[in-house]
Amino acid sequence: MADIVFLKNVERDLNTVLTVGTFDGVHAGHKVLINSVISSAKERNARSVIVTFDPHPRDIINPGSDGIRLLSTLEERSELLADLEVDEMVVIPFDRDFSLLTSEQFVRDIVWEKIGVKEFVIGYDHHFGRNREGTIETVQRLGEELGFKSSVVSKQEVGDKTVSSTAIRNAIQKEGDMLLAASFLERYYILNGTVVHGDKRGKQIGYPTANIQPQNTKKIVPKRGVYAVWLRVDGKYHGGMMNIGVRPTFEGEQETLEVNIFDFDKNIYGKEVQIQFVDRIRDERSFKGVEQLKAQLRSDETNARMNLKNHSPDIAKQFK
């Protein structure tokens, strides 16, 4: 895990290469920027720092909305940055007062005075500060004045779509397209949760399920439907199929996340698990009766097992 350092505890070091952003998901586009920071820091024998925010700025700037759903928690971001060999993740508590800082105040008072910087790496389209007034030109001008270098990273794309956290959220929430999301993230989308008691209905029809309660209510839950997944529990991975929905065949109302774990019969109530979403099998739908549902589940299991044969668990991205 990259060291998580909150702004109040950061040690000022002018021999620092850094960049600033929310970096939700640490996706392929983010990694180009981050790798530029790391590469330059190694060349300069400097500290590599990613400056990020918590909570997500949109939750503070648009408090009347339902809030933004996260691709990664703060801890998950730290793990992903550690994989990339970032030295420190500096977290700025984002509140109303901070949101009122001008871009110049942010660079002078936070980046320069509190964190320290030798090189500021910025994305081609990055805007920051009050009303998003800060631009590349702001960083370049202040760099010349204060004595740090500014570097710009150009636009990056994956396939024919620009990589963005918004595009990934749409792929997961609106389309349930986990393969597209994985291509943007360069890993499976993960959801950490706790196994809780359900109504045991799955066991009654021959497909026992583990009910998953997400650990962080701000994390994105994929579009309703059935998915091929890897579930990690007690450090081991098991294939399975997950249903996200209200179980219309049984006239359910509350959305549940239930995973049928293949070839598994252990009691894991209360255990913390990680779900890696591999691919979407089908939409949620209602069936005329239990027998029709069971026939569909057998088909789903076959499809999920075949899918998982071609997609190994992403063991390198197992978050604690």
Domain map (residue ranges) of the chain: 3-161, 188-317
pLDDT score recorded for residue 253: 64
In angstroms, the CA 23 to CA 2 distance is: 14
In angstroms, the CA 310 to CA 301 distance is: 15
169 token code pair: 């959220």
CATH classification of 3-161, choosing from 1.10.10.10, 3.40.50.410, 3.30.1490.100, 3.40.50.620? Answer: 3.40.50.620
Residue pair 194/271 in contact (Cβ under 8 Å)? The answer is: yes
Question: What is 188-317's CATH superfamily?
Answer: Riboflavin kinase-like (2.40.30.30)
DSSP string, 244-260: EE--GGGT--S-EEEEE
Give residue 209's identity as a one-letter amino acid code. Answer: T
Residue pair 83/317 in contact (Cβ under 8 Å)? The answer is: yes
pLDDT score recorded for residue 159: 47
Q: Which residues of the chain have pLDDT under 50?
A: 157-159, 320
pLDDT score recorded for residue 288: 77
Whole-model pTM?
Answer: 0.86
Task: Express each pLDDT in 145-203 by its tens digit.
Answer: 999 999 998 765 444 556 889 999 999 999 999 999 999 999 999 999 999 987 666 56
314 token code pair: 């992403």
pLDDT score recorded for residue 289: 78
In Å, what is the CA distance from 235 to each residue of 17, 101, 186? 35, 44, 22
Residue pair 271/195 in contact (Cβ under 8 Å)? The answer is: yes
Those residues whose C-beta lies under 8 Å from the C-beta of residue 183, and which sit 6 or more positions away, are 28, 158, 159
Q: What are phi and psi of 223, to 5 degrees?
A: -55, 145
Instruction: Return the DSSP state at 68.
Output: P
Q: How many CB atoms lie within 10 A of CB 57?
A: 17
Nearest to 277 by CA among 246, 247, 252, 308: 308
